Amino acid sequence: MTTMRPDTAQRPGPDTEQRVAGGVGDSPVRPDGTLKVKGEFAFSSDLWADDMLWGATLRSPHPRARIRGIDITGAVALPGVFAVLTHEDVPGAKTYGLEIRDQPVLAIGEVRYAGEPVAIVAADHPETARRAVARIAVDYEVLPPVVDADAALDPRSAQVHDRGNLLRHVPVRRGDPAVPAEVVVTGEYEVGMQDQAFLGPESGLAVPAEDGGVDLYVATQWLHVDQDQIAGCLGLPTSLVRLTLAGVGGAFGAREDLSMQVHACLLARHTGKPVKMVYGREESFYGHVHRHPARLRYEHGATRDGRLVYVRARIVLDGGAYASSSTAVCGNAATLGIGPYDVPNVVMDAYVAYTNNPPCGAMRGFGTVQACFAYESQMDKLAAAVGLHPVEVRLRNALTTGDRMPTGQLVEGPAPVAELLRRVRDAPDPPPRGTDPRLLPGGVSNTTHGESVVRGVGYAIGIKNVGFSEGFDDFATARVRLELVGGEPAVLVHSAAAEVGQGLVTVQAQIARTELGIAQVTVATADTTVGSAGSSSASRQTYLSGGAVRAACRAVRAALLARSGLPDARLVDGAAVSPAGEVPLVELLRAGPVEETVEWRHRPTSPLHPATGQGDAHVQYAFAAHRATVDVDTELGLVRVVELSTAQDVGRAVNPQAVQGQIQGGSAQGLGLALMEEIQVVDGLIRNPSFTDYLIPTILDMPPMRVEVLELADPYSPYGLRGVGEPPTISSTPAIVAAIRAATGKALARVPVRPEHITEGPQWTD
Amino acid sequence: MEFLQPSTWDDAMAAKAAQPEAVPIAGGTDVMVELNFDRRRPPALLDLTRVAELTQWGTDGPLLRVGAGVTSRRLIAELGGRLPGLAMASRTVGSPQIRNRGTVGGNLGSASPAGDAHPPLLASDALVELASVRGVRRVPVAEFFTGPKRSVLAPDELVAAFLVAPAGGPQQFAKVGTRNAMVIAVCSFALALHPAQRRVGTGIGSAAPTPRRATAAEDFLAAALPWDTRGRLPDSTAREFGALVAAAAAPIDDVRGTAAYRRHALSVLAGRTLRWAWEALCD
Ligand SMILES: Cc1cc2nc3c(=O)[nH]c(=O)nc-3n(C[C@H](O)[C@H](O)[C@H](O)COP(=O)(O)OP(=O)(O)OC[C@H]3O[C@@H](n4cnc5c(N)ncnc54)[C@H](O)[C@@H]3O)c2cc1C
């Protein structure tokens, strides 16, 4: 990793000076690292309570059907079964949802996707629970499903809900909608349904409490949004629904929606016993939302020298059966859908439709991944049409500070689009093809010894918003306590922010060390006894919860310095110091701990105008560029990615190793979408709900990466940092496909690219 | 579920005869997946890992006899020189963990059209040795498979071993998958040249209801190869061979690939493996 850091990176406040190790900018060892490597980390599926029951879920086999009746007698009669519940047993709100509460806790009279929960069981053994589920008889009247998002938008289509199939339409209009251009390129693109493929399936343990409430230990991304929905469905005040974060085995957006949370709580309250639910791998494919499949139609108009005059685009996202976060995903696709380019005239329409396909929602990239594949493919087409290098055409249109987005929003702070592109373009070439067959397309499968192998290089850049947008009140809470433990000052950081594997716990401790100068920092397990931290999504948690921890630390510091009674005191290496004197921290803390809780917000955003899409909808933009080098066996259509070179501006690398991890992992996820990852849905049914046929990249598929990290401070964010998690996923996919096109001359308008698209697909001509 | 753990081969056969519905388990890399996915709920499992005889290999006249319990890893390490085609196929199986556990008997027992041991066993005319309390029979591997995941194995029978002649000429195996490692074959192809008999063996995987040979392609190639001169392989021969291999397949469209792609890829693999084998023979 190479790093470029200008002097503008923000330092901790003026009232302190610290040299403690393991602070911001270091990469201290993660507390969960060794445990995870050794297989000793307790994930949510390892939860245990004496006397606990096991929950299981009966799911619909049909994508669309009316339920004429549910007969649970066979299940109830099975020895060891403690409860069999249907929607009738849901005491509170019967539906839930992140944005629109349209999703039933258990199906009510109708099922809208294959895999929808219909009934739940608690039994004294998982096998008994499974058998009981099999004994529930549901009388379905099977209906023809709505399976195509475009067709669903036709007013004559059958309706998935009774409010029409259009979930949201986001128009964005800028400039002249009918302006002509000298050069026009058009294209239609398709993105398949990607899965988050986290390794730890949905799981949790609900424990009924004596006060009539329930304690839920669960792997999730946002404790408080879960709490709110669960309490609503249970008909309890939120104070009686307490959540504690259990060990999370990855998230990537798939844990933003509820899965087993309400079910486990219902069963626990019904039986008076702790109830554990753990999905298997196959059930997990039905148990969470996926990335929206998309059809995208783009028309780019430009001058003969490659300057964009207009972009007109129509994006149709398949939302599946329930809303989840579809409306926000659609907003992102629309507002970020022409890419990091300065375009004077834009006509963008993004739609998301209800269908009877599996529900789609949050996944790393959140609506920008689909659009980026299309707009970057278009930029390559434009480069070819005007006879420019693909990077050159991008440079001529690169967004920069002071430009306006199609929404009219001013781009503030660093926007190093051109710089990132130049860096990946100028990176040294990877070595030429060697003779080790494992490093050729086909890998260990011995399909070529060099025959028909052609190398190609492709480029792409993407843009992502950081944080929640469109006027959402996005905040995070953190509590910081400084006290003497065994005579030494120690810090306790407590928040509800979910560590989902990204390294947030480590980052929170680093910030506390930097702000307070104390090495001994403990991060308490996240729970709902402290205020909401918002979601571990949208690349926002280091920004938001990091900001909250920093603010709480500063409040603690101020209180402590006030306690010293010294005028204009600063905290320097374990003491309050001023020209008037010096008081050691240990002495200041003898009077008792100092504790502060802070609710911290980023700058407010505003909603989009419903007709024009104008508005300052986003908090911060993040950018990453990729260059992909691939070897393609053109005769067999097999691909090996030889190298990925990337450059990303992270504002400030709070933890350089974690930044690396996010960039490598995100790029791998983008590689997966480019080459293999797709949930294949036919007639509303998932055909490959397992890792046997839902393929994710192995170490032989993911090449070594060359990573350049820029640290151009954002003037508005803590330490100048920029969200890191999503950008790498966005541009790696189109860069890889561009490289395959360069090697083969094939059109490849759909991802994932399959071998037959290379061997049989049309040529890339326009 | 009962768990039977015989420690001798006779006990294993007796147990299978007494309880034919007991499902044998060797490495468990197929059985446990089926149990986990709830595709199978057998009343009993018959653990074969304590039967020492199954893990051995040796000679039987001119043939090698390889016990059903020999793992992919051992096929590579111990038999790679004598059975190069099977070793190449074994290298493509799963991951190191799977190769450490998975056995050739289990691969045969599953009788998947995608089982990677099958094409090389077909190409080298292997026999499968089946045993029960009723006796022992040896079945040509081409007759062993009867349908997708079905074989001639009787309910009371177990796979004891396979028998095959050590390679008398170059062997090759190639497999197409949409990932560069740990992938189930979209299609695969094995080739064995038998220069002494001027014969050619083939095996096609994942492109028909069962693994199968491409007999017309074998006959064509046996006649067309310049065995005497060991001269350059004409491109037209490789192409025709590829076309005949593709014609021998009966693929379908499924989640892993299309029928048309499978036929195309088989013709490419056949041509390439032939060139590699012929070059090796002429070296
Ligand atoms: C992650 C993963 C990757 C895989 N990749 C591949 C791959 O690339 N290529 C491939 O071919 N396979 C692959 N497999 C499948 C599997 O590993 C192989 O089929 C392996 O050879 C099975 O051997 P086993 O000893 O584990 O069989 P088991 O699972 O123990 O048994 C498999 C079947 O054979 C039966 N059986 C076992 N031994 C006998 C016997 N002696 N007599 C009669 N019946 C018997 C069992 O009852 C069962 O029906 C993969 C599996 C996994 C989990």
Same domain, A101 and A228: yes
Comparing alpha-carbon positions, the chain A residue that sits nearest to B177 is A442
State the pLDDT confidence band at A438, using cuts at 50, 70 and 90: confident
Are A451 and B256 within 8 A, CB to CB? no
Q: Which amino acid makes up residue A260?
A: M
Residue with tokens 């509820």: A258
Ligand 1 atom at minimal distance to the Cα of residue B115? 11
Per-residue pLDDT of chain B (283 residues; tens, 9 = 90+): 899 999 999 999 999 999 999 999 999 999 999 998 888 889 999 999 999 999 999 999 999 999 999 999 999 999 999 999 999 999 999 999 999 999 999 999 999 999 999 999 999 999 999 999 999 999 999 999 999 999 999 999 999 999 999 999 999 999 999 999 999 999 999 999 999 999 999 999 999 999 999 999 999 999 999 999 999 999 999 999 999 999 999 999 999 999 999 999 999 999 999 999 999 999 8
Domain boundary among A287, A310, A345: A287
Contact partners, residue A503, CB within 8 Å, separation at least 6: A30, A655, A658, A661
The H or E element spanning position B277 is helix B259-282
Within-domain flag for A492: yes
Please name the residue of chain A whose CA is at the shortest distance from the CA of residue B273.
A447
- Ligand 1 centroid to B103 CA: how many Å? 6
Q: Mutate which of B30, B37, B93, B180 to test chain A, going by most A C-beta atoms within 10 A?
A: B180
Query: What is the spatial distance between Cα A58 and Cα A138, in angstroms, rounded to a whole number?
Result: 10
Which of B172, B176, B260 is facing A638, going by the closest CB pair?
A: B176
Q: How confident is the model at residue A437 (pLDDT cuts 50, 70, 90)?
A: confident
Asked whether B27 lines ligand 1 (CB < 6 A), one says yes
Mean pLDDT of A557-584: 93
Q: Taking CB atoms and an 8 Å cutoff, what residues of chain B touch A635?
A: 268
Residue type at position B102: G
Residues A660 and A639 in one domain: yes
Find the residue in B nearest to A688 (Cα): B255
How far is the alpha carbon of A325 from chain B, nearest alpha carbon, in Å? Answer: 29
- Read out DSSP for A651-710? SS-SSHHHHHHHHHHHHHHHHHHHHT--B-EETTEES--STTTS----TTTSPPEEEEEE
- Measured between CA atoms, the residue of chain A closest to residue B178 is A676
Atom of ligand 1 nearest to the CA of B34: 29
* Res. A88 pLDDT band, cuts 50 70 90: very high
Q: Tell me the average pLDDT across A682-690.
A: 97
Question: Looking at residue A15, what is its pLDDT?
Answer: 74
Looking at CA atoms only, how far is residue A131 from chain B in angstroms?
A: 11
Asked if the Cβ–Cβ distance from B264 to A700 is below 8 Å, we say: no
Q: Say if the Cβ atoms of A755 and B255 lie within 8 Å.
A: no
Report residue B204: phi and psi, to 5°: -110, 130
How many Å is the Cα radius of gyration of chain A?
27
In total, the C-beta contacts within 8 angstroms joining chain A to chain B are: 96
In a domain, A766, yes or no: no
Query: Ligand 1 test: best mutation among B19, B30, B144, most atoms within 8 Å of CB?
Result: B30
Residue type, A107: A
Of A553, A578, A601, which residue sits at a domain end? A601
What size, in residues, is chain B? Answer: 283
Residues A341 and A381 in one domain: yes
Pairing between strand B135-140 and B145-147? Answer: unpaired
Residue of A nearest to B89 (CA): A445
| CA nearest neighbour of A48 among A244, A274, A249, A201 | A274
User: Of A325, A263, A259, A319, which Cα lies nearest the Cα of A98?
Assistant: A325
Pick the range with the lowest mean pLDDT from A428-432, A611-615, A762-766, B200-204. Answer: A762-766
Answer whether residue A153 is part of any domain: no
The enclosing domain of A273 has a CATH number of 3.90.1170.50
pLDDT in tens, A259-300: 999 999 999 999 999 999 999 999 999 999 999 999 999 999
Query: Does A569 lie in the same domain as A422?
Result: no
Best CATH choice for the domain B2-48+56-164 from the list 3.40.50.300, 3.30.1330.10, 1.10.3730.10, 3.30.465.10: 3.30.465.10
Q: Identify whether the C-beta of residue A393 lies closer than 8 Å to the C-beta of residue A311.
A: no
- Chain B residue with the nearest C-alpha to that of A443: B180
In this prediction, residue A11 carries a pLDDT of 60
Cβ pair B178:A675 closer than 8 A:
yes
Instruction: Name the residue facing B92 among A280, A445, A636 (closest C-beta).
Output: A445
CB-based contact, A443 to chain B, within 8 Å: yes
Question: Which pair of tokens denotes residue A243?
Answer: 């959540």
B12 lines ligand 1 (CB under 6 A): no
Residues B265, B174 contacting (CB under 8 angstroms): no
Of B177, B258, B268, the CB nearest to A445: B177
- Interface residue B45 vs chain A (CB under 8 A): no
Complex ipTM tops 0.95: yes
Ligand 1: does its nearest atom lie under 6 Å from the Cβ of B29? yes
Q: Name every chain A residue with its beta carbon within 8 A of the beta carbon of B73.
A: none
Looking from the CA of residue B183, the nearest atom of ligand 1 is 8
The structure tokens 């096998």 sit at A127
Residue A486 belongs to a domain with what CATH number? 3.30.365.10
Same domain, A452 and A549: no
> Are A562 and A461 within one domain?
no
Q: Is the pLDDT of residue A8 over 50?
A: no
Question: How many domains does one find in chain A?
Answer: 3
Ligand 1 neighbour B109 (Cβ under 6 A)? yes
* Ligand 1 atom nearest B175 alpha carbon: 8
Q: Has residue A221 been placed in a domain?
A: yes
Average pLDDT, chain A: 96
Question: pLDDT value at position A12?
Answer: 65
- Over residues A330-382, the pLDDT tens digits come to 999 999 999 999 999 999 999 999 999 999 999 999 999 999 999 999 999 99
Q: Is B124 in the pocket of ligand 1 (CB under 6 A)?
A: no
Nearest CA in chain B to A447: B174
Residue ranges covered by each domain of chain B: 2-48+56-164, 171-282
User: What gap in Å lies between CA B23 and CA A454, rounded to an integer?
Assistant: 48
Q: B106: CA distance to ligand 1 center in Å?
A: 4
Which residue from A480, A474, A482 is spatially nearest to A532, judged by alpha carbons?
A474
CA-based nearest residue in chain A for residue B261 = A756
Q: Is B175 on the interface with A (CB under 8 A)?
A: yes
- Domain endpoint, select from A287, A309, A342: A287
Task: Give B76→chain A minimum CA distance, Å.
Answer: 14
Q: What is the pLDDT of residue A97?
A: 98
Cα A467 to middle of ligand 1, angstroms:
47
Interface membership of B255 toward A (CB under 8 Å):
yes
Strands of A135-239, DSSP E: 137-142, 166-174, 183-191, 203-208, 214-218
Instruction: Answer whether A238's CB lies under 8 Å from A253's CB.
Output: no
In whole angstroms, give the CA distance from residue A220 to residue A546. Answer: 19
Q: State the pLDDT at residue A6.
A: 45
Do A123 and A139 share a domain, yes or no? yes
- A22 & A131 share domain: no
Strand pairing class (A705-710; A2-4): parallel
Tell me, yes or no, if B91 comes closer than 8 A to chain A by beta carbon.
Answer: yes
The predicted structure's pLDDT at residue A9 = 42
A676 and A528 part of one domain: no
- Residue percentage of chain A with pLDDT more than 90: 96
Is A320 domain-assigned?
yes
Strand partners, B130: B137, B159
Closest by Cβ to A447, choosing from B38, B257, B269:
B269
Same domain, A523 and A654: no
Q: Give the pLDDT mean for A566-570.
A: 93
What topology does CATH give the domain B171-282? Enolase-like; domain 1 (3.30.390)
Atom 35 of ligand 1: nearest residue by CA position: B109
Q: Which residue among B38, B180, B184 places its CB closest to the CB of A444?
A: B180
Going by alpha carbons, the residue nearest to atom 4 of ligand 1 is B94
Task: Give the span between the Cα atoms of A677 and A690, in whole angstroms.
Answer: 12
Taking the Cβ of residue A134 and every Cβ of chain B, the question of whether any pair is shorter than 8 Å is answered with: no
Nearest CA to A277 among A52, A43, A56, A123?
A56
Whether residue A590 is found in the same domain as residue A707:
no
Residues A374 and A403 in one domain: yes
Task: Give yes or no for residue B105 CB within 6 A of ligand 1.
Answer: yes
Predicted confidence (pLDDT) at residue A446 exceeds the cutoff of 50: yes
Cross-chain Cβ contact B183/A695 below 8 Å: yes
pLDDT in tens, A514-567: 999 999 999 999 999 999 999 999 999 999 999 999 999 999 999 999 999 999
A134 occurs within a structural domain: yes
Contact B180 A759 (CB under 8 A): no
Ligand 1 pocket, residue B94 CB under 6 Å = yes
B181 touches chain A (CB under 8 A): yes
- A640, amino acid identity: R
B110 close to ligand 1 (CB < 6 Angstrom): yes
A185 within some domain: no
CA dist A368 to A171, A185, A564, A760, B168, Å? Answer: 16, 21, 51, 29, 58
- Distance, in Å, from the CA atom of B88 to the CA atom of B100, rounded to the nearest integer, reads 15
Burial A310-335 (b: 16+ CB within 10 A, else e): bbbbbbbbbbbbbbbbbbbbbbbbbb
Residue B30 Cβ inside 6 Å of ligand 1? The answer reads yes
From A287's Cα to the closest Cα of chain B, the distance in A is 15
Q: What is the pTM of this model?
A: 0.97
DSSP state of A444: G
Domain residue limits at A587 = 11-41+475-601
> Residue A640 above 90 pLDDT?
yes
